[in-house]
Amino acid sequence: MLAPILDGKRILLVISGGIAAYKSLDLIRRLRERGAAVRCILTEGGAAFVTPLSVAALSEEKVFMDLFSLTDESEMGHIRLSREADLVVVAPASADILAKMAQGLADDLATTALLATDKPVLVAPAMNHMMWAHPATRANIASLEAQGVRRVGPESGDLACGEVGAGRMAEPMQILAAIEAQFAERTSLAGRRALVTSGPTHEPIDPVRFIANRSSGRQGHAIAAALAQRGAATILVSGPSAEPDPAGVEVRHVETAAEMLAACRAALPVDVAVCAAAVSDWKVANPATQKLKKDVTADGAPPKLTLAANPDILASLGGAGNRRPRLVIGFAAETENVVENATAKRRAKNCDWILANDVSPGTGTFGGRENTVHLVSADGVEDWPTLSKQAVAERLAERVARHLAAAS
Ligand code: C5P
C-alpha cells in the first residue's frame, strides 16, 4: 500500500538536458503510481536524451516544449502551467538551468515557467563533478537556496562522463522521498494557531503627521505566509506596509502600537506568537486633534513633542499568564553586541526564542530582502547563514513545527 500523501497532487516536472533524464521517466512512473498528476516541460537539451513520446506516454499528459508555440499558449499559457502545480521539480537540473534560475533568466519555456511560478521548487542537480564543484555553480546553488529553492542530491559516484565524483542525480526513489517530505511539511502545523506582528507602527503627532520607522514588513509577512503554508490558522497583525496580504492569512491592519497590542490580545489563545513588528518605542503623549499650524506657539518656535512609552507587545505576550502562547518568539534588531543584547532581551521579555539580527548601516537588513540571523534560545545560539527573508521564514516555520510537535 503506497502512502496517500501524493494522491491528487499536481507536479510540474522540468526535464533539462543530461544523461540522467532517463531516470526522470522512472520518477514520472513512481509519481503516477502514487496518484500524482504529472505535467512535464522538456527543454531542448532534455529532448536530446529522452523523447517527448516516452514522457507523454508515462505522464499521460501532453508534453510542453515550446515557449512560442501558439497551440501551447492558447491551451495552457506558461503562467498557468507554473501556477496550476502544487510543486515544481527540476530533474535533472543541469548546471545551465541552475545558473539561469539563479539569475532569473527566462529564455525558454522551462526557465520562463520557473521564473513565473509562485510554488515551491525542488531541484535534483546532475552534472560533471568539476561543474558541480565550480565556484560559479556553488554561488548559483547558494543563491537558489537563499531564494528558498530546495535541493535533493547530487550523489557521489561514477559519472556518465567516465569520471568519478559528486554530480550524479539522486535516484528516483530519493527524489520521490524529497517530494513527499515537501508535502508532509505542509501539514506540519495543521490544527495550530499562530499570531505574527509585522511592519512599523505609525504614532500620530496630529491627524496628518506621524512618527514611524523604516521597517518594510517583509520579514513578518513572509513568516505569516510560511506558517500558514504549513497549515497553521494564522493571524497577521500588520502596521502600515506596502507588502501585499499573504494568501491564506487573516490580516488585521493597524496603525499604532496600542491598536497592535489590542489586536494581538484579541487573537489569543494561539500556540505560537512571532513578534516581527518594529513597534515604535514611543508615541506622542497628546496627539493634536487638528493639524498643527506653523504658528502653534506664541513665540513662533517649533512645537515641542512630549513622548510617552508604548506598550511592549512581545513582553506582554510573554507574560500573558495562562493565555501565554506556548512559543513566544521575538526579534532583536541590534547594531552592536548582537547576540549578547539578544540574550538579555530574551530574558527581559520572557520569550522563548529571539532571532537576533544586525541592522547596522550597510547591512541592508532594514527594508532589504536578506537577513542574517542568530537564533537565541535557552539551548544556546545557532548562527544561520545569510538568507532571503523568505528562506528565514521557511526555516523558522520548520523549527516552530518541530518544537510544537516535540512539546505536545
Ligand atoms: O526592545 P526591542 O524593540 O529591541 O525588542 C524587539 C522585539 O520586541 C521585537 O520582537 C519587537 O517586535 C518586539 N517589540 C514589541 N513591542 C514594543 C517593542 C518591541 O512587541 N513596544
What are the extents of the domains in the chain? 4-185, 193-407
- The CA distance from 206 to 203, in Å, is 9
Phi, psi (5° rounding) for residue 384?
-100, 150
Tell me the average pLDDT of the chain. Answer: 92
In short, whether 201's Cβ falls inside 6 Å of ligand 1 is no
In short, whether 279's Cβ falls inside 6 Å of ligand 1 is yes
CB 330 within 8 A of CB 314: yes
Using the predicted structure, report yes or no on whether residue 379 has a pLDDT greater than 80: yes
- The CA distance from 199 to 240, in Å, is 6
Q: Peptide bond before 92: cis, by omega within 30 degrees of 0?
A: yes
- Mind listing the pLDDT tens digit for each residue in 77-129? 778 888 899 999 999 999 999 999 999 999 999 999 999 998 899 999 999 99
- Enzyme catalytic residues: 161
- The CA distance from 306 to 86, in Å, is 53
pLDDT at residue 36, as a whole number: 97
- Mind listing the pLDDT tens digit for each residue in 229-262? 999 999 999 999 999 898 889 999 999 999 999 9
Q: What is the CATH number of domain 4-185?
A: 3.40.50.1950
Q: What is the CATH number of domain 193-407?
A: 3.40.50.10300
- The CA distance from 78 to 390, in Å, is 24
In short, whether 6's Cβ falls inside 6 Å of ligand 1 is no
Could you tell me the distance, in angstroms and rounded to a whole number, from the CA of residue 343 to the centre of ligand 1?
Answer: 14
Could you tell me the distance, in angstroms and rounded to a whole number, from the CA of residue 51 to the centre of ligand 1?
Answer: 57
pLDDT at residue 204, as a whole number: 98
CB 344 within 8 A of CB 322: no
Q: Give mean pLDDT, residues 5-17.
A: 96
Could you tell me the distance, in angstroms and rounded to a whole number, from the CA of residue 250 to the centre of ligand 1?
Answer: 22
Neighbours of 406 (CB within 10 A): 7
pLDDT at residue 1, as a whole number: 63
Alpha-helical runs (H) found in 268-383: 313-318, 338-348
- The CA distance from 375 to 363, in Å, is 18
Could you tell me the distance, in angstroms and rounded to a whole number, from the CA of residue 367 to the centre of ligand 1?
Answer: 17
Q: Give mean pLDDT, residues 179-187.
A: 91
Residues sharing a CB contact under 8 Å with residue 142, sequence separation 6 or more, in sequence order: none
Residue of 331, 334, 355 with the most ligand 1 atoms within 8 Å of its CB, for mutation: 331
Ligand 1: nearest atom to the Cα of 276: 12
The amino acid sitting at 69 is S
